[in-house]
Amino acid sequence: MLLQRLIAWAKRIQLSIYTVLITLLVAFNSLVFRVRMSHENGVSARARIRILDDPRRPAHDFFVNGREFVGRVRHGAASFNDDAKKVVRSASVKFSDTRGRTPFALLMNTGDAPLFWDARTFASFMVVTMLGRGKYFVSHLRKYPQALVGGSVSVRRDPESFAGMSYHTQTCSGLLAADESRHLVRYRMIPWDGWSPEMETGTPEPWDAALPWLQNPFQDETRTRNYLKDELIERVNDRKDRVRFRLQIQVRPWLDGPTQQWASSAWPWDEVETPWLELAEVELTEVLDYKEAMLTWFEITQAPKTLPIPNAVSIDDPHSLNHLRKASSWGRRARLFAYKIFGMLKKFPDSRHAPDWTSEPPMAEPPGP
Ligand code: HEM
């Protein structure tokens, strides 16, 4: 009994050490380079959000049928300042038209499984990212073959539009229903009309998906580094096209005791056993300017008490990924502080011949403009 307690205690200390070290690195990086730790490349829009009725969903005090919000959505790319690279894309949604504070926010990536699923695998991913990605990813993927699955299902190459992709929270969070029952939930956002996974734009060819660490644009790429963001601006602001998404939720009982293995982000939940239930309609109404996009931030801590983030007890606990994310709030603070002191970074140019463009592995001649 005493031994078990000591082991549990040691695991918590290990998680705290990981959290402090990772948070310090993230905050240092954001302060010095004035960037988001990830998803620096993005565009924000104002959005109309309406909670939908689905009787299969547990009644909840925040998700009240018919409730409407003016919110914001930020679409981005997880890494590299080039829309034509093969990278994970994102959709972050906040339930208020504000840069900062909001009653609720969701951060979602393409693909239903990530490259890391707890603090241990995230630390390994972070090391290879700091080394320079590319070939360094291979050691991470050898050690954690499941990361290859996550990488393959998450990256998108040359998508036509942010409006044609689906986005997943990938991690589990909590939902305390009006009748006081406890649930674990996952969210996804899919295009509004008749979407199926086969219709996803940007899904790489199987040979390309199997090599997620080769992220450079193809040699014959002709589009600019900003083509995907520009497409959204043109679609919403100029053409006034409707860009609508369906926000959906999966719900499972949140059992007492140690975290169940199925809370892991490493694999998605079965859609027959745990169907996707309708949650909200999200419609982009106006793409905002660059400055507004840079100042709009999203965090998983932005949630009512009835949508909690479960606590983690070790670096192998599935909830440890969200534990790190809660602490990484210091990265966002450091970034915004750096803007105040040194100013905001300028929008990166369209051309791959600009000095800030990077390739990994190195390309002799950057493609396109
Ligand atoms: C599956 C897990 C994860 C998902 C789906 C995810 C998703 C995202 C998304 C979509 C954004 C962009 C937000 C925006 O548009 O502004 C983001 C940014 C960020 N994420 Fe994650 N993330 C995950 C894991 C983590 C972890 C483990 C950390 C811990 C260090 C982390 C730290 C950050 C930070 C620091 C930012 C930038 C915050 C800012 O400066 O505004 N994320 N993440």
- Which of 328, 339, 340 to mutate to test ligand 1, by most ligand atoms within 8 A of the CB atom? 328
Q: Kindly state the helix (H) or strand (E) to which residue 23 belongs, with its residue range.
A: helix 2-33
Please tell me the pTM assigned to this model.
0.96
Q: Which atom of ligand 1 is nearest to the CA of 91?
A: 10
Residues 6+ apart with CB under 8 A from 91: 73, 74, 75, 108, 162, 165, 167, 189, 245
- pLDDT tens-place values along the chain, 369 residues long: 889 999 999 999 999 999 999 999 999 999 999 999 999 999 999 999 999 999 999 999 999 999 999 999 999 999 999 999 999 999 999 999 999 999 999 999 999 999 999 999 999 999 998 888 878 888 888 999 999 999 999 999 999 999 999 999 999 999 999 999 999 999 999 999 989 988 999 999 999 999 888 999 999 999 999 999 999 999 999 999 999 999 999 999 999 888 888 899 999 999 999 999 999 999 999 999 999 999 999 999 999 999 999 999 999 999 999 999 999 999 999 999 999 999 999 999 999 999 999 998 888 889 988
Contacts of 240 (CB under 8 A, 6+ apart): none
Domains by residue range for the chain, with CATH = 2-342 (2.40.180.10)
Atom of ligand 1 nearest to the CA of 74: 15
- The distance of Cα 311 from the centroid of its chain, to the nearest Å, equals 20
Cα(87) to centroid of ligand 1, in Å? 14
Distance 279 CA to ligand 1 centre (A): 23
Question: Is 90 close to ligand 1, i.e. is its CB under 6 Å away?
Answer: yes
